[in-house]
Structure 1
Amino acid sequence: MKEYIVDNENNKIRYHDFPGKDTPILFIHGLGCAGSFDYPEVAAQTDLIEHRRILIDLLGSGFSDKPDNYLYSIKEHADYLYKFVQDLKLNKVIIFAHSLGGPIALELADKCRDKVETIILSEANLDKSSEGSYSYEFGTCEEADFVNGVFDEVVNSNSIENSMWSATLSVCSSTAISRISKAAVAGGDPSWRDILYSLQCKRTVIFGEESLPDDDKTELERQRINIEIVKSAGHSMAWENPKGLAEAIKKGILYAREF
């Protein structure tokens, strides 16, 4: 694992950087997750083995630093990742992102359009969070209440039925989870959906078979966005079918290279 200083306060993100000669893939994880937890098995699949694969833990998550005085907004995450891409001298990059990592990926792609070979999103937030989602539940809760009680309740209540997410959530900063969730509720300006539609690179959105039907699939297809399906998986496809997710990512890469 490597580390990268993101600001003048010496805060660091930590990441895996697996070698490969083909275009680097930057993996951006979702809410309460971590690249170091979610993506090693995906990155190890034969379909992706020729690519350089960079698995980050966002600030506030996984093995990365967790400062309480950080804003943890979508924009702030995208800003330090833009600097990270520049400093790693990634002249071309494939951006993959899951769930609430999607808005971060889209704002990053908007900042470095000339570097993005393709963007691949798996069940990503394209609009501000709505009622019924974890990010809406967390983001509409007072930060002090969330940090001092709700966070631990969520970790404990998911420890049996959703034990993988409970495990990775438990090592996140409760402050970071609260603040990024509030950013998700507020939405982007321009919206993350509008950024996706405006990107000139080829775009792919991945759904888990068990998450369908989804009304957004038809709308995305209407916008000429490539759709891939991971069989025998729902929203947590990296854990449920890592081989299938790697295959879907590879199909998205090949789709971008067909034109």
Structure 2
Amino acid sequence: MRELFLADARGYMRWIELPGEGPVRVCLHGLGCTGASDFAHVMTHPALAGGRTLLVDLLGFGLSDRPREFGYGMAAQAAAVAQVLDHLGLTGVELIGHSMGGAVAVRLAASRPDLVARLVVAEPNLYPGGGMFSSPVAAQDEETFVRVGFARMLAAVDRPDYAARLRLADPLAVHRSAVALVEGAAPPEGELLAGLDRPRAFLVGEYSLPDADAERMAALGVPVFEVPKAGHNLMIDNPEGFVTALVAGLSADAP
């Protein structure tokens, strides 16, 4: 595990680095998850061999710090990841983001194009409104969610693998992140993704179809790749299918 203290956020961002000599890949997890739990098992697949990979824990999640004064919006998280890449002297990385991490990845690619050569997002949050997980969280006020809502939500989770990841998240970070996803920001991530001038791709699970965002991105010229036998947790539901789609996404042509 490696770490960097972010003075403006007043906390450490931490990541696990998988060594390699090929392209540098940076993975950003979804809401309530961690970099290693979501990506370690797929990024070590032989089809992705050779690359150096950073499995990042966004602030408030996994092993990264939980600064109370941090806003936990997508742009703020993107800026924090950019500081890590700047610290490591990295440019032109292959950026991969799932769900909330996909929204963060789009913000990073749009705000710091020097850092990102290719972008692949898996069922990202692209427009205001949130999703099945974030919307109920954001509907609660912050104090209530932190005090009792998070524990109730954790007890109600019906997937043991997700409960294990969620237990490592900070309730305050979960709530503020969910509110940010529901409220959205201008311009929305969907507009930014469609307008990027570098290779980018959208992954969607078979069980999530029909998916309005996937259809909209395809119509706007973003390559869309389906992961069979998978829902929103694509890399957990079907790791082999996710790797196949990811390899295709990383090979997509520039617009």
The TM-score range, normalised by the shorter chain, is over 0.9
Stretches (4+) displaced over 4 A = none
Q: Could you state the TM-score of these two structures normalised by the residue count of structure 1?
A: 0.93
Q: Give unpaired runs (5+ residues) of structure 2.
A: none
Letter in 1 for 2:74: I
Which residue does 2:152 correspond to in 1?
153
Letter in 1 for 2:101: G
Letter in 2 for 1:107: R
Letter in 2 for 1:79: A
Matches for 1:238-257 after TM superposition, within 5 Å: 238-256=235-253
Q: Percent identity?
A: 29
| Partner of residue 191 from structure 1, selected from 183, 188, 206 | 188
Decide whether the 8 Å contact of 1:117 with 1:256 is kept in 2.
no
Q: Give unpaired runs (5+ residues) of structure 1.
A: none
| Partner of residue 222 from structure 1, selected from 219, 224, 233 | 219
Q: Does 1:89 align with 2:82?
A: no
Which deviates further from its counterpart, 54-63 or 218-227?
218-227
Which residue does 1:63 correspond to in 2?
63
Which residue does 2:54 correspond to in 1?
54
Query: 1 CA distance for matches of 2:75 and 2:57?
Result: 16
Q: Secondary structure at the match of 1:5?
A: strand
Letter in 2 for 1:214: D
**Alpha-carbon offset, residue 187 of structure 1:** 0.4
Which residue does 1:40 correspond to in 2?
40
Decide whether the 8 Å contact of 2:9 with 2:70 is kept in 1.
no
Q: Could you state the TM-score of these two structures normalised by the residue count of structure 2?
A: 0.95
Letter in 2 for 1:136: S
Decide whether the 8 Å contact of 2:18 with 2:54 is kept in 1.
yes
Decide whether the 8 Å contact of 2:154 with 2:163 is kept in 1.
yes
Matches for 1:167-178 after TM superposition, within 5 Å: 167-178=164-175
Query: CA-to-partner distance for each residue in 1:87-135, whole Å, 9 max, x for gaps?
Result: 11112111110111122111111121133221101011100124x6221
**Alpha-carbon offset, residue 8 of structure 1:** 5.0
Decide whether the 8 Å contact of 2:85 with 2:115 is kept in 1.
no
CA RMSD of aligned residues (A): 1.6
Which deviates further from its counterpart, 72-81 or 144-153?
72-81
Letter in 2 for 1:138: V
Query: 2 CA distance for matches of 1:117 and 1:231?
Result: 27
Q: Secondary structure at the match of 2:173?
A: helix
Q: Does 1:200 align with 2:216?
A: no
Which deviates further from its counterpart, 17-26 or 176-185?
17-26
